[in-house]
Amino acid sequence: MAESLAVRRANILERQPEAKRGSAIERVQSVLQGFAERDPEGEVLTAVRRFPARAAVHADWPDWVTPRLRDAYVAKGIARPYSHQALAAEAVHGGRNVVIVTPTASGKTLCYNLPVLDAILKNDDTRALYLFPTKALAQDQLAELYDLNQRLERGDGAAQSFGVFTYDGDTPSDARRAIRERGHVVLTNPDMLHTGILPHHTKWTRLFENLQYIVMDELHTYRGVFGSHLANVLRRLKRIAKFYGSNPRFVCCSATIANPGELAERLIEDEVDVLSANGAPAGEKTFVFYNPPAVNRALGIRRSYINESSRVAQEFLKNDLQTMVFANSRLHTEILLTYLQQANPQFPGTPETIRGYRGGYLPRERREIERGLRDGRIRGVVSTSALELGIDVGSLDATVMAGYPGTIAATWQRAGRAGRRSGSSCAVMVASSAPLDQFIVRHPDYFFGNTPEHAFIQPDNLEILVNHLKCAAFELPIAPEDRFGDVDVQDLCARLAEAGYLHRVAGHYHWTQEAYPADAVSLRAVTSDNFIIIDVTGQPDVIGEVDFPSALTTVHEKAIYLHGGEQYHVEHLDFKERKAYVKKVDVDYYTDAVRHTQVRVLEIAAQEPSSVAHPAIPALKAHGDVLVRSQVVGFKKIKFFTNENIGDGRLELPENEMHTTSYWLTLERELVAALPFTISERQSGMFGLLHAMASVATLLLMCDGRDLGTAIGERPPKPGAEGEEFRVVTLEEARNAVNKEFFEPNLYLYDAYPGGIGFSEPLFRAHELLLAKTRELIAGCGCDAGCPSCVGPAGDLATRAKEAALLILERLGA
């Protein structure tokens, strides 16, 4: 798995002959060499990959491009487009829906700006809507378009150019009218489209009557819940466009994922051309995986990845290499910033050369930091994902990622912040001890090979769909012929009418509520059923909210709730009013809810032998509809750092029932009985296997650990039947569940959202890959008998859990 020392040395030492002594590239090499020398075993630097520089492939400007526009680009320093830009622009110009898949800094904005602006210059009525997942990205794109606009204005005496505006929550209300009238290009985000534009479409008649292009950048971020919502927002958008007589084309841009075309087609529900060529040049880049040294190998405890990240970053900074450090939370950003600033003290009175950057900083401060990075005054920056996407900060020499960013796509985007286009650069990913991090860092080929990451959405999730159907009815009455996804719209409308939301007159359903439905629908959650968290340490203050399912496990009474790096003790949970009252505390433990989950299969959508090659292996894979009933029965207090269990408590919380979709693996009796272990070892092996499978699944699905739930239950005799009776259990029973023998267990991985969010069927399809990668994860883990990185913490499981899990996988033919 880890590369040999020789290979790594060779990779480091190979250098360009013309590199000057003391140049950035030499300094990068010397830093890396330093790391390698301190790690003769190759346990720390698990991969050093060198990506050679790539030359540009140019093409001619398409002949339809308005000369003035071409001149403006030439004046910007773009003499000719790259081959992929010309190709993409051609496809968009030709009226196709496209998804453009190219790495960071390959000039994808030209792919859509060229045909869109050309259309505007040829016909002043043309309108385009650009969607970005964040406000900051829209701002950045605005600057680029302003620049082009100015060049166009200078081009010839006639001041014909185009109007470009951002429209988001920060847009002053007096500017909004001008934007609606004069904005040829309106830059916004899905949330604003959902609550601010669509429900007020009569104010945007000019836009909707002439809407020709919809550009969606960072398409891969529209997955899971967010993507499922967006697909419905787009259904609403298309309905309104049709009402005004327009039929816009879609231009999507995505980072590299395995299924960009599929995702785009699911989102826009139309055919899409996938363009994945890349003619952009790239500088030489070295990518390094850094696994902090083990402190206690048996327990799988490693040195703090935060400290190690800080150390790596300091090495770069010491060598005067401009460095960007990414942390996965605001808290870690602040910690790393403190470490780095302390290590690089400033002369009093001179401006700080190492800065933090994250949401919550003021826009002006952010712009100042971006400028400082571009002109080199700022040598180091510590950021959250805020700087991951598109913001132009020039090219840096090195990036350090404190922890795996969660997806391969995001990792490449972060790495892409160093060495955009030319020059040599280095990216270091420092792994935490989380299972995903450990898997990636030990399986570099998984990361550097063809990406296995798929983005999935489920636009027909009923809860989401019905909420958007309400919004749609508010926007335009629902006509008998209206379509909205694959569901029976008329039936749903009749139900909404019954519940008092709609009223049917002459075949059309009209909105009959005072409320504005879009306000109650957040694009980031399935239901708007949230608990508000109120800090009552001093003056009561609302500090956040959690959705219903998480509330039961995170803000039950006596829980330690972590927020913004502070610990809070939950004093009281008002279940009826959906409020949790918390007080600030400083304790050395956190709490972990003990949850008892039972799954009942309602309907099997598909069921097949686990192994295609060996159908005789006594195991099945399946997916379908399930009912999940979970109950939080108690909680454990876990000490920080040592993870000792220092006490527990009983809880009486209402059960939570959820209808969702699930993928599951059935181990038939024959397989279970043949396992040479004690009952409790077998059981532990199954729980451990499921733990590891869930980790790998989040990797394949580009989702968060919270998006998937796990449970093991007895295989029901037939769907819908009571496999096991749902019943209330006590804390003791829940804790001992691991020792109860299953006859023929089902291992469930279910979508943790009511109605399902589209993970189950893909997992069913990827079943064999999932098992193979799970085996790699467990087998590749250096721990003795299980650790949080593979089958789960050793203390919770029987001693041979890891061994048992591996044997099950082997018997499954993985």
Question: By the criterion CB under 8 A, which residues form the site for other proteins?
Answer: 199-203, 205, 243, 462-463, 466-467, 470, 473-477, 494-501, 503-506, 508, 510-517, 519, 527-529, 602-603, 625, 627, 657-659, 720, 754-755
Which residue, 107 or 477, has its beta carbon nearer to other proteins? 477
Which residue, 4 or 350, has its beta carbon nearer to other proteins? 350
Dihedral sign computed on CA atoms, order 76, 80, 83, 86: positive
Q: State whether residue 720 is helix, strand or coil.
A: coil
Which residue, 345 or 500, has its beta carbon nearer to other proteins? 500
Q: Could you tell me the smallest distance in angstroms from the CB atom of residue 63 to other proteins?
A: 39
Tokens of 274: 């996938």
Residues 6+ apart with CB under 8 A from 759: 456, 661, 663, 697, 701, 703, 707, 708, 749, 751
Which residue, 204 or 213, has its beta carbon nearer to other proteins? 204
Which residue, 374 or 503, has its beta carbon nearer to other proteins? 503
How would you class 12 by CB atoms within 10 Å of its CB: exposed for 0-12, middle for 13-18, buried for 19 or more? Answer: buried
Which residue, 336 or 489, has its beta carbon nearer to other proteins? 489
| DSSP letter, residue 198 | G
Alpha-carbon distance of 252 to 534, in angstroms, equals 41
Q: Could you tell me the smallest distance in angstroms from the CB atom of residue 514 to other proteins?
A: 4
Q: Could you tell me the smallest distance in angstroms from the CB atom of residue 185 to other proteins?
A: 23
Alpha-carbon distance of 636 to 589, in angstroms, equals 10
Which residue, 136 or 237, has its beta carbon nearer to other proteins? 237
Q: Could you tell me the smallest distance in angstroms from the CB atom of residue 4 to other proteins?
A: 55
Residue 370 near residue 393 (C-beta atoms within 8 A): yes
| DSSP letter, residue 282 | B
CB atoms within 10 A of CB 564: 12
Q: Could you tell me the smallest distance in angstroms from the CB atom of residue 511 to other proteins?
A: 4
Closest CA to 457 of 269, 290, 331, 587: 269
Which residue, 34 or 720, has its beta carbon nearer to other proteins? 720
Q: Could you tell me the smallest distance in angstroms from the CB atom of residue 512 to other proteins?
A: 5
Q: Could you tell me the smallest distance in angstroms from the CB atom of residue 521 to other proteins?
A: 9
Do strands 530-535 and 541-547 pair parallel, antiparallel, or not at all (unpaired)?
antiparallel
Which residue, 446 or 501, has its beta carbon nearer to other proteins? 501
Alpha-carbon distance of 88 to 451, in angstroms, equals 22
Q: Could you tell me the smallest distance in angstroms from the CB atom of residue 187 to other proteins?
A: 22
Which residue, 520 or 769, has its beta carbon nearer to other proteins? 520
Q: Could you tell me the smallest distance in angstroms from the CB atom of residue 505 to other proteins?
A: 5
- Tokens 């909707």 — which residue? 208
Please report the DSSP string for 537-556 in residue order.
Answer: SSS-EEEEEEEHHHHHHHSS
Closest CA to 164 of 111, 99, 95, 113: 113
Q: Could you tell me the smallest distance in angstroms from the CB atom of residue 578 to other proteins?
A: 12
Tokens of 454: 């798929």
Residue 517 near residue 511 (C-beta atoms within 8 A): yes
